[in-house]
Structures are given as structure tokens and as C-alpha cells.
Amino acid sequence: MNWYYHSRDPHYKAPFGAVRTNEPVRLRIDGMPSAMVELLLYLPDGPRTVPMQWDGSAYHVTFCAPQTPCRMGYGFRINGRYFGAESGRARFADTPQTYGLTVYDGAFQTPEWFRHAVVYQIFPDRFYCADRARFDRAIEACRATGRSVFAHQNWNDMPFYLPHGGAKNYNPDDYFGGDLCGIREKLPYLASLGVTCLYLNPIFSAHSNHRYNTADYLTIDPILGTNDDFRALCDAARAFGIRIVLDGVFSHTGDDSVYFDRYGRYGTHGACESKDSPYYRWYRFYDWPKTYECWWNFETLPDVEETEPSYTAFIQGEGGVLKTWLSAGASGWRLDVADELPDSFIRGIRRSIKETDPDAVLIGEVWDNCATKYGPEGRRGYVNGDELDAPMNYRFREPAIEFLNGRKDAYWYAETQNQLLEDYPKPFMDACLNLLGSHDTERTRTALCGIPDARTLSRKQQLAIHPDEATLARASKRLLLGYALMAVQPGVPCIYYGDEAGMLGMSDPLNRGTFPWGNEDKVLTEQVRRLMRLHNGSDAIQNGSTRIAAIGKQTLCVIRESEKEMLILLANAADAPVRAVLSPALFFEGPNESLPELNGTYTDECGNTVHARSTLSLTVPANGFRILRRV
């Protein structure tokens, strides 16, 4: 008889995936009697061996997870040989082979409203200008202070990507006039997409159009509006059932800021003005005031010492940045470069925002697997339950782009997503901000033209890429297929402004063009709108279990199932239609022990009726999908 174990099959391990502190974990290995079978636990305080017991058909053991959150390992030893693997089916080896197991705080929960949200990310300067005259006045006021600013006269201009005005280096100082009042005017459009949350790139006073070089954390950038405009936006958004999450840039400030004041613009209180400045200890000077530690060696972005008590209090304390803007109407924060913030600082941010609003959400910019990421101080605690509620889920975005472009197959894609389901606590997984594009990536439709990764190309090479109409049409189909995956898989769908309208663009700043009001791809927009309505209206998506499996080299199936509904997504990344045959045997692994029962009558996305008996067979279009619902 063969030995067999699979970490994702609840017949062999229960519960599925990550476990709570002190939670009992049941393991089973199928094999033969009269063997010496031991469970090997690799715990934070050292290894431990536990004998497994034969019950007449298999070996069993139950152990309790550690009392504190951690990432532990486990494996098996059978008659002196090691048996196990990091994921998937086990095998024999002469050296220890371990499975990873995430243990998280049993009290950890994420905001229900956010788990059920649809998010829309806005780069504020490029979304909509409500008042051109006000914008022009703000630009003139900025120029009067000595700031370098350029105001585009044509909304449809391309953002500057080369030095201009005699400058030697490119400077992101060109503006189009998008403002907070413009976002407010477009709330009906956003609500029609099914959006229930806005994530705004930085809106605080700063001397660039991206505003990641903060000049004053407590003041809205005057080019965008006023503090009162922000409060009015939050109030108006709430009336549409929409909440607002702000971008917190706390690992560095701008050099041209109230706090650093490299150019003496703000008086005598900046860290460069005096060593007696209340902000002096926020920064790491090598030779004051000339040289200092910078973010990624950009002199315009001096790093801060996050654990300096006065800085921590300024961000997290009473009357500080976090609480001020939550009190003004925000519903949460996204942490820029969260992997460059100390864990203790992130824990303090969580405590601060939850004290102000227990329902506020905390999202982190983390590009890697949050359960297994390590830093200089050891394993990061993102999923422990006392730090982030969720990450920006680039672990969805990057595999999806590779799969949709045909560079990786459906088996590989399914493995990447099942790995997250296994590694992440369910409250964390359900809140993951799933995205296909952002201000840090090329536009989704551009990425799905099959072009090389923009990070491997010079800006000149990027500008030379002009996909033909056939390639763009195929990219639009792939984009919609990506949104179908995003709408159905666990997590929170996030639309980068204008992607739903068919916008194109390579990397920064070409991915930050203006929204094409009046020139949208309205067919694409309506198709995205239908998918977001599906996401919001499906009990299986909102509350159900998940199974993900490949049913062919380029064909994927996602099943969501609740007590009220079963929903099946069949995704075909091939350039030709495929006949997909779905059987329960494909889904031996997943969070439910029983196999899915496919028998029944379904309705597809066009309202057609589809019948299934033991297996389900139907044609899926090229670069397309089918969605079936059974209630």
C-alpha cells in the first residue's frame, strides 16, 4: 500500500489552511500498519516529536497550535525516513521535508464592510477637474511660494516623462487639475460600477503630482482642495454607500516639507534649520544638514526614524495624523511600503486606528507572500492578527497577468492561488485587495498585450510600443477575463481608475494619464459593471467556500459555494475556444471535505439554462469565460 498525505485535502488535515492559536489540528496519513510513524513539529521554541496512532485504516494525530502567532513547520518520519514536502503530495526523502503552517491570533477579524467591498483606486490629479478656475488660482498661489509647477491646458495631454522647462532631470511637477470636488461630482458614476470604497493616492500637501513626498500631513494639498472639501467628499460618498481609504506615507517625508525644510521655505523649525527643531530626531543625519539617510537614495525623500517617540506620537497619538483624518471621515489607511516599516510601528498604527474606529481597515503595500516574508529582524508579522487587515494582493496580480498572457499555464496559476488560500488566515484572505493594475504597474490592458515587463524596458523602449488593433482587442478580452477572476476569487476587487474604460500606458508616469471622459470604451465599462454587480450580489462569492483547479493547460475553474448558491467560473486563457469538462474528482482538495455536487440546473451569464449530471461540459470562448449559478 502506498503512503499518502496532502496538506490541502481536509481528509488528511483539518482545519484547512491557517489555524488559530491553541486550535486543535488533526492530521492523517494513509499507509500500512506496523510502522513507526512520527509527527515532527518545528516550533518557534524548537522541534518536537509526537507519535502517530494506527486506527485500523490510517495513522492519526491531533496537536494544538502554539499559544502565540507564528509560522511553524511540520513533517513526518516513517520508519526513520522523512516523508513530506512544502506543498502538495508528500514523498520520502533522507532529509527533513516540512509543510508550512500559519498560526494567527484567534481573536483576529477584519472589517465586514471591507471584505464585501469593491474598491476603486484614484490618482487624484488625473481623475476629474471640477473647477478649472479654482485649479488655476491654486497653481498661481503655488508658484508664488517658489514651487515648480506646470499646469496642462489640455486634459488629454500625455503626462510629462522627460525633463522640461530647462531642468536637467525629470520632475513630476505637471498637473491636470483633478481635485476632491471632481471625485465628489463623479460619485454617481462610481456607485453605478458597484464601487463601495475609494482608495485615494496621497492627498496631503506635497511638491509633486504623486504626493509621496509629503510636505504637511495635516493639510490637504491646495491644488486638490481644502480640508473642508475632504470632509464634504466623505459625507457625500457615505450617502452613496461609499467609504474612503487614505494613503499613508510614513517611511519618509519630502525634503521640501514643514518637518525637514531643506530649502528654508517654512521658517526656523525644520530639521535642517536647527538641531533644536522638534523634528530633528525624526531623521538620520550623517553630516547635518548636508547628508542624511534617504528612501532608495532619493535626496528629495529623507527617511524617518519611525520608532522615535515624538514621530510615533505625531502619527499615532491623540490629535495625530491617523486619528485626525479618521475623525474627518476616512474609513481606513493604506500603508505605503509597509515592508519598510517596523512591525512595532505597524502594530501601533493598528491600535491607533481601531481605537478611533474599530471598523476602520488597515491595508499594507506588500508585494510578497505576507505569511512567509522575512526582513532583517526575522519573519514579518503581517498575518499574525495584530498588524494588517490585508495587503495589496500583488500575489493575485502577477500570476493573473502571466496566466492571461499565456506565459504560464492554468496548473501554475491554480497552485499560486491555492498556496495563498493555504497560507493566509481566512479573515485576511477575504480582505486581500485583489488588483490587476495600480499606479506602480503598467496599465492592465497594456500589460495584457503580451508585451515584456515594463521594468525591463527603458522609457524610450516603452514609448516605442504601439500594439495593433487586433492585439488591443485581444487584450480587452483578457482584461475582462482578469476582472472575472478578480470578481469571483476570494478577496476584494480593486479597479485602478480608467482601467474599466480601456486606458493604456506603460510604467510611471505613463500609467497615470487622465481619465478619458467622453472617450471611454463604454462596452468594456458595462461588462466590468456587470461583473462587479455579480460580485456584490452573489451569496456564494460573499460567503462561500472556494475551490480552484486547472481543467486543462489554459483552462481554469473556480467554484464558490454557500448554503444558498453554487457559482462556477470557467476561464479560458487560450486564443481558441475550448470544450471544458468539469467533474467533482478535480476538487479533492480545498476547504470543504466533501466533493462538489455538480448535478442540477444552472443559469449562465447570458440567462441561458445549463443542465449537469455528474459532470458538466460546455464550450468556453477564446480569452473568455463562462459563469454558471445554481440556487
Q: Which residues contact 137 (CB under 8 A, 6 or more apart)?
A: none
Is the distance from CB of 525 to CB of 500 less than 8 angstroms? yes
Which region, left, alpha or beta, applies to residue 590 given φ > 0 means left and ψ of -120 to 50 means alpha? left
Q: Which residue among 221, 303, 365, 422 is the active-site one?
A: 365
Q: What single-letter amino acid sits at 614?
A: S
Q: Which residue among 9, 174, 256, 336 is the active-site one?
A: 336
Query: In the numeric block, which cell numbers belong to residue 561?
Result: 459555494
* E strand map for 224-350: 243-248, 285-287, 291-292, 294-295, 298-302, 332-335
According to DSSP, the β-strands at 214-220 and 291-292 are unpaired
Q: Which of 419, 354, 357, 412 is CA-nearest to residue 393?
A: 419
Strand partners, 295: 298
539/185 Cα distance (integer angstroms): 31
On the CB side of 32, CA atoms within 13 Å amount to 5
Query: In the numeric block, which cell numbers belong to residue 31?
Result: 499507509
Grid-cell match 469565460, residue found? 625
Cα–Cα separations (whole angstroms), residue 434 to 117, 121, 124, 393, 505: 11, 12, 20, 5, 20
Sign, Cα dihedral of 528, 429, 383, 99: negative
- Strand, helix or coil for residue 39: strand
Q: What single-letter amino acid sits at 129?
A: C
Residue 365 falls in the annotated catalytic set: yes
Which region, left, alpha or beta, applies to residue 330 given φ > 0 means left and ψ of -120 to 50 means alpha? beta
Find out whether the peptide bond into 15 is cis, omega within 30 degrees of 0. Answer: yes
First to last CA, the chain: 41
DSSP annotation string for 538-552: -HHHHH-EEEEEEEE
418/398 Cα distance (integer angstroms): 15
Strand partners, 285: 292
Q: Which of 91, 2, 105, 5 is CA-nearest to residue 589?
A: 5
- Strand, helix or coil for residue 419: helix
Residue 336 falls in the annotated catalytic set: yes
Cα–Cα separations (whole angstroms), residue 372 to 100, 103, 375, 558: 9, 12, 10, 25
According to DSSP, the β-strands at 298-302 and 214-220 are unpaired
Cα–Cα separations (whole angstroms), residue 427 to 17, 116, 436, 588: 12, 12, 21, 23
Count, residues in the chain: 631
Q: Which of 69, 87, 81 is CA-nearest to residue 7?
A: 87
Active-site residue list: 336, 365
